[in-house]
Amino acid sequence: MAEALSPADRSSLAAEQGPVNMSVGGLLVFEAGPGLGYDAVVERVSERLHLLPRYRQRLRSPAPGIANPTWIDDEDFDLGRHVRVATLPEPGDDERLGEFAGHELSRRLDRSRPLWELTIIEGLQGGRTAILARMHHALVDGVAAVDIGTVLLDPSPEPLALPPPEDWEPRRYDRIQHLARLSLGPLERARRLPWEDRLRGLADPRRTAEELRRATDDLRSATEVALELARTRPQAPPTPLNDGIGPNRSYATARLDLDALKTVAKPRGATVNDAVLAIVTGMLRRYLVAAGTPLQPPPVALVPVSVRQAGDEGGNRISTVLVELPVDEEDPVARLEAVHRRTRALKDSAAVRAGALLVGATGWAPPLMSVALARSLGGVRAFNLVVSNVPGPQQPFYLNGERLLEVYPAVPLNPANQGLSVGVLSYDGGVYAGLLADRDLHPPLAAAGQAFSDAAAELLAAA
Residues annotated as catalytic are: 137
> In 10 A of CB 430, how many CB atoms?
17
Rounded to 5°, the CA angle 29-34-38 comes to: 80
Is residue 144 classed exposed, middle or buried when 0-12, 13-18 and 19+ CB atoms within 10 A define those classes?
Answer: buried
User: What count of Cα atoms within 13 Å lies in the side-chain half-sphere of residue 72?
Assistant: 20
Is residue 403 classed exposed, middle or buried when 0-12, 13-18 and 19+ CB atoms within 10 A define those classes?
Answer: middle
- Alpha carbon 122 to chain centroid, angstroms: 26
Residues sharing a CB contact under 8 Å with residue 145, sequence separation 6 or more, in sequence order: 24, 26, 133, 135, 390, 409
Sequence letter at residue 400: N
- Alpha carbon 204 to chain centroid, angstroms: 45
For residue 247, report the phi and psi dihedrals to the nearest 5 degrees. Answer: -85, -10
- Compute the distance between CA of residue 61 and CA of residue 67 in angstroms, rounded to an integer: 6
Sequence letter at residue 420: L
- Compute the distance between CA of residue 461 and CA of residue 433 in angstroms, rounded to an integer: 19
* Residue among 324, 318, 315, 460 at smallest CA distance from 389: 318
Rounded to 5°, the CA angle 76-78-79 comes to: 150
Residues sharing a CB contact under 8 Å with residue 42, sequence separation 6 or more, in sequence order: 79, 80, 83
CB 401 within 8 A of CB 390: no
Q: How many helices (H) and strands (E) does the chain have?
A: 12, 15
For the beta sheet containing 57-60, the strands, ordered from the edge strand earlier in sequence to the opposite edge, are 3-4, 70-73, 57-60
Helix-strand-coil split of the chain, %, nearest 5: 45, 20, 35
For residue 428, report the phi and psi dihedrals to the nearest 5 degrees. Answer: 50, 50
Helix axes 7-15, 350-360, angle to 10 degrees: 60
CB 411 within 8 A of CB 165: no
- Compute the distance between CA of residue 145 and CA of residue 427 in angstroms, rounded to an integer: 14
